[in-house]
Structure 1
């Protein structure tokens, strides 16, 4: 009996040891997303060799925590030869798995592949489904036989465990503080801007520049900027502390305040230098500090420029001006807009989708172009390889690929300016959704085997948008922040002695400016009070408050128009308007009128969120919350709808007049002619 127990115990210990030495692999976890929900429905591949491309971007602020799983659901032609037809999956250039296309999986086939993406920090997952299909064993297979097909269905799934980025360096601030999309598996609390001290003008101005940077980070994530404000560091929430002088209590790593200036690792930082530091905490906590107001402003301005991969840096001077900012001269390369080179490999048709945002305050003129710089493999068949460009669903045209050399070739496509300014509702167009379709064809001479990987093409980052334009109407709310764009920095003016809620609204407006300012080198606005503005009220201004509390509001003429429709009994929470400046000819003032800070924040919300901003029309709108924000436009759209989408019947000139008018005109002409003739005859007889 004892011997049996010893044997059992030995067996248990052996099994435990095996589990410790050979742990089970971590299974894929996270959210399961359908291809159809990600924009890819059923897609069909034709021909002997074909490739289906899928690109799944990883949102800013998220990274895969563990390996993922791809489940392909497909059907294929039942005539395919099972021993010669295959389907393969390639992730970012790395082959992962293959399966034969057999009669068993011709209807309802499925392939599940583990994706080694744990810790992946790239911009997205580029997945290729490569197919080789054969009907016969003949050397001379019909390349375009219609029975050579495979369908990858939209109910295929991608399982990926995306989690928020919780740690990093100053180079990762966008990932640490940018808002997450609604599809994210978790909710990230918005960053809290802590002003220390609260009622100091220098900290408020610096906080406005920090809020502008938050808007920039939100633009990278293509989300609406969200933030909160406090006078003390919140617990267990991401925060950005704007400190003038004394360092707020907390764990700041190697940063100290000695009563006169800051110290890093015991070494004093010059009083005229600003300081940026990430605390060794989670959630992230950023310090924007300076011993003097000038040093604090330098530190805040540095957030609008790329920063090194360090946890602490001193800022010795204001950041230099960007030499070649995107859209500054009416053009922008893909590189300036953050798009890297895109390469596709394999014979057949490929699709590349890229989303851009253009300045909303431009009225595009005729002559705009999209210049694609493409490098293609020299072995392609020039007669049957092509590129097509589609913008916002509008096909610009197709061109044959030029493959004489391996150097980039330029393909210019004319842009329809009329269709890219506004839609039928008069809403200004801000997005340019570009789809590039490439068809790569290899020669099939003498029925020789061809390596399909020899077919490739690269869309270079030197590709560019060239958009000649005129300034659009600056008094159109739908073109925000056009009113605040000028040669000097804009000023956001709060009431004197603003409440914390007023400051919150002003900071959210600064973040909204950062979100929608497509010009790369726009200077952050200044968040001031009416007293701090003084008598110099020229330049771009935004006034936030109520006439009873704000001295500048009484000097502005309120249009006070009535909405087209309204709901009886609903109280107006805020009014947005753009009015001529009483202090400078040719300038406009953005006015957000509300009785309290909640109303101000509601008005700013209409400028922060895309869903509300695209509803704004003309120069005045009312907002109410019951319970969701509702926008009522008080003026007609200023942007005319595209003429090509509003055709008119061309009427012959004569058909524009009633028949009786035509007959009457003829009789009148005849009568006048007769009278002239009679007078002429009598005059001749008298002579």
Structure 2
């Protein structure tokens, strides 16, 4: 048995409620085993696992390949219910704590009682045999062994405790078996420490000698076996993409024989949709020319007709070909406007292949579009889908950004969404040291706040509080805004607290924190306070009254961190990407990374992003769309766009300082430059370029890695790689240099003129009445002066 350690990667995901009854689990396991046995008995099926860490353990079985009947009629016998790849031997998956941002290089528990929560997922392709939690720790020598211990809980159930009795400097080890029945799709490990430095009484709960450190090489060890994967679109994006995977999902696109607008647009939109589905989870994407280049467990996406993807003629697919035309289940040619989606194993039965095709390029694009539209793909099932009709999803309003503040200036807390995309309800927190209630308070990127923003907090709290030390505090991004003493002896029901929100502090990534600091009226010495009777509630009818107008100062790459302005509207219908006439693999990969990032930054029912080669970009699109142009300097698709703004690509890579000018050879930096579009002052142009393919690869890392992308600012960024010995996925592997080369200007208000007028007037409503009277008097005076001229002329 080989032991494989996963690559370093942030793996602890947000906690979701996903519990099931044991009886349901046993029934599902029994049905899965029964189905697996029947399939093995009926055909020379092959088993599959998608665990990349087991690839070296692959043992090819002696099985006969799947064959179709001579008639080729697709039916249940020719469409296998399970993708069975070559089975891999059982192995281990080691999940180290240092992959969690909560742990990092150290994790300390302090005070009389402290705990830390770590979360992990269970991939769908795993059949877990056993799970162990291996803790390595050290603690303060001042701890009293009989009254100090470390406890581990998994999904709320205790799996073991260990006394904190090690001599000074000695590292402790503890291994706990986790019952398989406790595991769920989303799991939580709680490490709790009870610490005392006296056999009778710990006087000071904040004594610095009360500490225990969990070492970052602590780990969770899984003994597991692969599980067959069902070929079925009803669980899409699985099995193409597993959102429960602990390792990056690996995806490959098969390059067509000729790259055209149909393939570029379809591949870009598909990658954007995966970015939306992945959210914060990483995806490893690459391009291949042959199916045999795939790695075991890698997923292959084939987009196009048989003319552009000749490999389709050699794959074992459930539908037959007659010449270059696809036939349906009745052996009749499929109509030219019908898209075809198929899931099938690769020829070596080690990878999964998704085919989006048709008898015309438009039909293949329609097949991809079906997977992009969430309402449509929910009705998909089976391993073959024929897309005949596809509903056109209306484009949302440019300022309709899900997850951000409503466009209305007055709204309530229940109008905002939690991290689980559900409306806020009344939120109650308990205990004297409860964490704050956190609310996403994300301003729209083009919001400019005026004076007079108010939060009317509706709250309640219970009795038995110490009125001298209990407090309600409101913070914005950690900055205290206001506080109120909780001094009612019998508690308060539906209290109101008015808080002024600073107009210059509300950002597109802001968070409101509401903290109840609750102290009991009586504290017992030498004992942990029993404080769960202390509670505070924030009510869903908490209201907000904002004063704002809509404008943005551009160019500014910092706004690109939230997708603005390219993600307005959120279906990306006002954004186009331009490539060189014959893009190379590095430029195509950059296209996919940019598309994926735009997908992560937007939410909509559809994706309408368009991609063009340089000579195919319509003049109308230049005028009406935000443009992203990418390519090497010598092949840059739209060089005139930068020259017209006073910026020349020829001088882009020169270095100037204090009158000195140099040019380095070779220049391997990548450059991202944003300017106002020369064809429309209300649109933005983003250039992504470099002197060579190396610079283009640096830009791929810029859009792929969050640690680099969320540093963007100014209007120009230069990115270069550091020492090659540094891991490529580390932020220390690259150096970023930011420049502001053009003057920002206020532009791009997406609101119509009526909304702008109302916003302007709404900000100065106290001046509206006297201003109206003054204007009326002036008009009356002008009118009288004009009328008085006529009598004087008649007398003459």
The aligned counterpart of 1:241 is 302
Equivalent of 2:355, from 287, 301, 313?
Answer: 287
The structure that has the greater radius of gyration is 1
Deviation at 1:613, TM superposition (A): 3.6
Larger deviation, residues 283-292 vs 62-71? 62-71
Change (3 A) 1:335 1:130: same
Q: Deviations over 1:509-530 (max 9, x none)?
A: 3223224x24556834211113
Larger deviation, residues 163-172 vs 200-209? 163-172
SS of 2:264 mapped into structure 1: helix
Superposed, 1:589-604 pairs within 5 Å as 589-594=685-690, 597-604=693-700
Deviation at 1:590, TM superposition (A): 1.6
| Mapped contact 2:445–2:552 kept (Cα < 8 A) | yes
Deviation at 1:605, TM superposition (A): 4.1
Distance 1:196 1:607 in 2: 24
Deviation at 1:490, TM superposition (A): 0.9
Distance 2:239 2:422 in 1: 15
| Mapped contact 1:484–1:490 kept (Cα < 8 A) | yes
Equivalent of 1:523, from 589, 603, 607?
Answer: 607
| Mapped contact 2:671–2:719 kept (Cα < 8 A) | yes
The aligned counterpart of 2:132 is 68
Equivalent of 2:672, from 576, 588, 607?
Answer: 576
| Mapped contact 2:555–2:744 kept (Cα < 8 A) | no
The aligned counterpart of 1:327 is 404
| Mapped contact 2:154–2:187 kept (Cα < 8 A) | no
Deviation at 1:630, TM superposition (A): 4.7
Larger deviation, residues 115-124 vs 232-241? 115-124
Change (3 A) 1:175 1:142: farther
Q: Deviations over 1:279-337 (max 9, x none)?
A: 34544433333444444334323444555595635554147468983327458511465
In angstroms, what is the RMSD of aligned CA positions? 5.8
Equivalent of 1:299, from 367, 381, 393?
Answer: 367
Change (3 A) 1:611 1:29: closer
Superposed, 1:64-103 pairs within 5 Å as 66-71=130-135, 73=137, 75=139, 82=146, 88-98=151-161
Asked whether 1:42 is paired with 2:99, we answer no
Asked whether 1:553 is paired with 2:648, we answer no
Distance 1:320 1:343 in 2: 35
Q: Deviations over 1:29-57 (max 9, x none)?
A: 624436874376323233xxx45242335
Deviation at 1:100, TM superposition (A): 6.5
Change (3 A) 1:605 1:98: closer
Distance 1:128 1:342 in 2: 29
The aligned counterpart of 2:758 is none
Asked whether 1:484 is paired with 2:566, we answer yes
Deviation at 1:364, TM superposition (A): 5.6
| Mapped contact 2:135–2:214 kept (Cα < 8 A) | no
| Mapped contact 2:306–2:312 kept (Cα < 8 A) | no
Deviation at 1:214, TM superposition (A): 3.5
Q: Deviations over 1:485-536 (max 9, x none)?
A: 4454311112334445443333333223224x24556834211113332231
Change (3 A) 1:294 1:437: farther
| Mapped contact 2:613–2:637 kept (Cα < 8 A) | no
Deviation at 1:230, TM superposition (A): 3.4
The aligned counterpart of 2:63 is none
Distance 2:319 2:465 in 1: 63
Distance 1:435 1:115 in 2: 35
Superposed, 1:99-498 pairs within 5 Å as 112-116=175-179, 120=183, 122-127=185-190, 129=192, 131=194, 151-155=211-215, 158-161=218-221, 171=235, 173=237, 177=241, 190-196=250-256, 198-221=258-281, 223=282, 226-233=284-291, 234-236=293-295, 237-244=298-305, 248-249=312-313, 254=318, 257=321, 260-261=325-326, 263=328, 272-280=337-345, 282-306=350-374, 308=378, 310=381, 312=383, 313=385, 315=387, 316-318=389-391, 320=393, 325-327=402-404, 329=406, 332-335=416-419, 347-351=431-435, 361-362=445-446, 365=449, 381=465, 392-395=477-480, 418-419=504-505, 421=507, 470-480=550-560, 481-487=563-569, 488-498=573-583
| Mapped contact 1:244–1:289 kept (Cα < 8 A) | yes
Distance 1:344 1:112 in 2: 36
TM-score by length of 2: 0.57
| Mapped contact 2:123–2:185 kept (Cα < 8 A) | no
Equivalent of 1:540, from 623, 626, 650?
Answer: 626
Distance 2:495 2:386 in 1: 44
What is the count of residue pairs matched by the alignment? 592
Deviation at 1:207, TM superposition (A): 0.9
Distance 1:106 1:442 in 2: 37
Distance 2:700 2:435 in 1: 38
Deviation at 1:192, TM superposition (A): 1.5
TM-score by length of 1: 0.65
SS of 2:619 mapped into structure 1: coil
Equivalent of 2:681, from 562, 565, 585?
Answer: 585
SS of 1:606 mapped into structure 2: helix
- Ranges in structure 2 where 5+ consecutive residues have no aligned partner: 1-89, 408-414, 725-732, 746-796
| Mapped contact 1:475–1:588 kept (Cα < 8 A) | yes
SS of 2:304 mapped into structure 1: strand
Change (3 A) 1:99 1:486: closer
Change (3 A) 1:547 1:453: closer
